[in-house]
Amino acid sequence: MNKKLLIFVPVRNLGEVIIETLNKIPKNFENKISMILINDNNSEKFTKEIIRKYKQNSAFKILINYFDTNIGFGGSKKNAYLYAIENNYDYVICLHGDGQYPPEKLETMYNYLSVNNYEMVQGSRVNYLSGGMPIYKIISNKFLNFIEENIFKFKFLEYHSGFRGYSCSALKKIPLENLSDSHLITAEILAMAKIRKFKVKDFPIDTIYNANSSSMRFFPALKYGINVFYVLINCFLSKYNLNFDSLYNKVD
């Protein structure tokens, strides 16, 4: 029986870059993709027009959501994951439209989900420096990764990659509506996976940072890091039923 796979692509003011990204999806993997969902987060007209033309000329089945306001990175993710659940997809993979993560690795992720039955799979970046990641992000990522490994204990190569896939049966167990509309959703879902004992896996991918890569500036990144500690503290305390945020309540 064929499994239904949704590829979710978050977009904001990317122009031609999104087409370059989607064109890198391997031809021999195209028949595994049931649909591509593009969430355009209030981009300028140029990007909207490019996406519209791509849909007209693409062999993929494509659904585009044009949001009139910026609903946030987390808001875009929640919309996509809820859509996947409500429309009975088996798996959903988030592929950033800015080319920061490799479409060539979609099949690897899909196989871990569909063949090996992992509930959450992540492509974890390596070679930070040669991949062009800014020094301040390398330092902050290494520091946060060390702390998160001690809390989550997933043995992941990193904990801040946006290249993730999920089984929709696992996503159903997460209160998605209550998660953040910001990038913090990345850490929150890791905490949900830890609390709910998901079967998880990661694999290495090259770091790709260039002029097109979406990235938080220093102060938003600092705020993100502080908020990650809020998630980590609650996740750790949930083991003892001492968490102060009910989102992290232990699940029996």
Whether the Cβ atoms of residue 80 and residue 6 lie closer than 8 Å to each other:
yes
What pLDDT score was predicted for residue 223?
Answer: 87
What pLDDT score was predicted for residue 220?
Answer: 74
- Which CATH fold topology does 5-134+156-217 show? Spore Coat Polysaccharide Biosynthesis Protein SpsA; Chain A (3.90.550)
Q: For residue range 200-213, what is the model confidence (pLDDT) as tens digits? A: 999 999 998 876 66
Helix (H, G, I), strand (E, B) or coil at 52: helix
Q: Give the pair of three-digit tokens for residue 22.
A: 């989607």
Give the Å distances, CA to CA, from 2 to 118, 124, 141. Answer: 17, 27, 38
Residue 88 has pLDDT above 80, yes or no: yes
Domain locations along the chain: 5-134+156-217
Residue 83 has pLDDT above 90, yes or no: yes
What pLDDT score was predicted for residue 224?
Answer: 86
**Which range among 84-93, 162-171, 207-216 shows the weakest confidence by mean pLDDT?**
207-216
d(Cα 110, Cα 166) in Å, to the nearest integer? 9
Residue 7 has pLDDT above 90, yes or no: yes
Give the Å distances, CA to CA, from 46 to 9, 18, 59, 95, 225. Answer: 17, 12, 22, 21, 33
DSSP per-residue codes, 53-65:
HHHHH-SS-EEEE
User: Residue-wise over 37-50: b if at least 16 C-beta within 10 A, else e?
Assistant: bbbbbebeeebbeb
What pLDDT score was predicted for residue 1?
Answer: 60
Nearest to 137 by CA among 213, 55, 74: 213
What pLDDT score was predicted for residue 70?
Answer: 92
Average pLDDT over residues 219-225: 80
Mean of the per-residue pLDDT values of the chain: 93
pLDDT confidence bin for 54, thresholds 50/70/90: very high
Listed in order, strand segments (DSSP E) in 135-242 are 164-167, 200-206
Residue 214 has pLDDT above 80, yes or no: no
Strands across the sheet with 35-41, in order? 62-67, 35-41, 5-11, 91-94, 164-167, 120-126, 200-206
Q: For residue range 223-246, what is the model confidence (pLDDT) as tens digits? A: 888 999 999 999 999 999 999 999
What pLDDT score was predicted for residue 134?
Answer: 83
Q: For residue range 95-151, what is the model confidence (pLDDT) as tens digits? A: 999 999 999 999 999 999 999 999 999 999 998 888 888 888 888 889 999 999 999
| First CA to last CA distance, the chain | 32
Residue 219 has pLDDT above 80, yes or no: no
What pLDDT score was predicted for residue 213?
Answer: 60
Q: What is the chain's Cα-based Rg? A: 17
Question: Residue 152 corresponds to which amino acid?
Answer: F
Residue 75 has pLDDT above 70, yes or no: yes
Residue 215 has pLDDT above 70, yes or no: no
